[in-house]
Amino acid sequence: MRFFNKKAVILLVAVITVFLLAGSSERDKNKFPFLERVITSGLAPIESAVSKLGFSFRQVGSSAGQLITVYRDNQALKAENEQLRQSNFNVTEIMAENARLRAMLDYKTKAPQFDFVTAKVIARDPGTWTSTIVINKGTADGIAKDMAVVTPQGLVGDVISVFNNTAKVQLILDQRSAVGTLVQRPESRVAGIVEGNAANPLAPRMVNIARDADIIKGDQIITSGFGGIYPKGLQVGQVTDVVNEEGGLLKYAVLKPSVDFDKLEEVLVIVGSREPVARMPVVPQKPSNTQAFSAAPQGAGR
């Protein structure tokens, strides 16, 4: 209660002082110097407190405004940073794709004997990752069964089934695959068959090699052109090991494929070739007795 009365008295004195000062003229200012000093001294603490309080409120308001501004700026910077990150990601992807397409274009230029259709890999068989892939081109683009599929690095496989807008490609890593090949080294030219390796799917083997054949580590293996599917001279892989088969007269070579099948994104399908394809000779079969009898003229056995 005493505190309340004290505040009321101070407020009353302040009000009276304001009225006295407002009503006095310039010429009356020096009539009450003592009273003016007393009142000024008494109101000084109040004015100081009110001034400090107002300054504090202004500071709080200013700080709150600054915090809101900083928050908004921070959100804007985060959004801008995310846009820049996405833009950088897109640019990186575009640059990588351009590099691959440039390599393909260069390969096309260096292999004028072939007509190509460029296709994207859109799926892989999850159960047999190293066996087949699906590409986004089909009969509508001139793709047909048994066409060879390559990249600038080398042989990928061949088309085993085709639809209107897609096709399935069997990789040379598949155990069912068989590619006629030979050693590129001029003094060797050893021939064999490259097939998938069940023990190591990413390392196919060149089989049916004579025990004394001239094949060594580091030899480059290319397609031989036999069989009618793969043109001659396509890169297949490099020999990393030569192993003698137990109890036989043959050996096989383990290969590192020229193509990195884990990074296969685009391929080239050979839809036309001006390269002569060697075909295995067809041996005519002797007609059976039944065929001979049916083919004979009437009354031939009489």
- How far apart, in whole angstroms, are the C-alpha atoms of residue 85 and residue 40? 65
**Quick one: pLDDT band at residue 125, thresholds 50, 70, 90?**
confident
Judge if pTM exceeds 0.85: no
pLDDT at 293 exceeding the cut of 70: no
- What dihedral do alpha carbons 10, 14, 16, 20 form, nearest 10°? 150
- How far apart, in whole angstroms, are the C-alpha atoms of residue 176 and residue 101? 30
- Summarize the confidence of residues 208-233 as an average pLDDT: 93
More confident residue, 21 or 67: 67
- How far apart, in whole angstroms, are the C-alpha atoms of residue 66 and residue 201? 63
pLDDT value for 87: 67
- Summarize the confidence of residues 142-170 as an average pLDDT: 96
Rounded to the nearest 5°, which phi and psi values hold at 59? -65, -45
pLDDT value for 105: 85
**Quick one: pLDDT band at residue 121, thresholds 50, 70, 90?**
very high
How far is CA 80 from its chain centroid? 24
pLDDT value for 221: 98
pLDDT at 287 exceeding the cut of 90: no
Query: Domain spans of the chain?
Result: 1-110, 114-273
- How far apart, in whole angstroms, are the C-alpha atoms of residue 170 and residue 18? 102
Tell me which architecture the domain covering 114-273 has in CATH. Answer: Beta Barrel (2.40)
Share of residues in the chain with pLDDT > 90 (%): 45
pLDDT value for 75: 79
pLDDT value for 295: 38
- Summarize the confidence of residues 137-162 as an average pLDDT: 96
pLDDT value for 291: 40
**Quick one: pLDDT band at residue 226, thresholds 50, 70, 90?**
confident
- Summarize the confidence of residues 274-300 as an average pLDDT: 45
Amino acid making up residue 187: E
**Quick one: pLDDT band at residue 39, thresholds 50, 70, 90?**
low
Over residues 173-206, the pLDDT tens digits come to 999 999 999 999 999 999 999 999 988 989 999 9
**Quick one: pLDDT band at residue 302, thresholds 50, 70, 90?**
very low
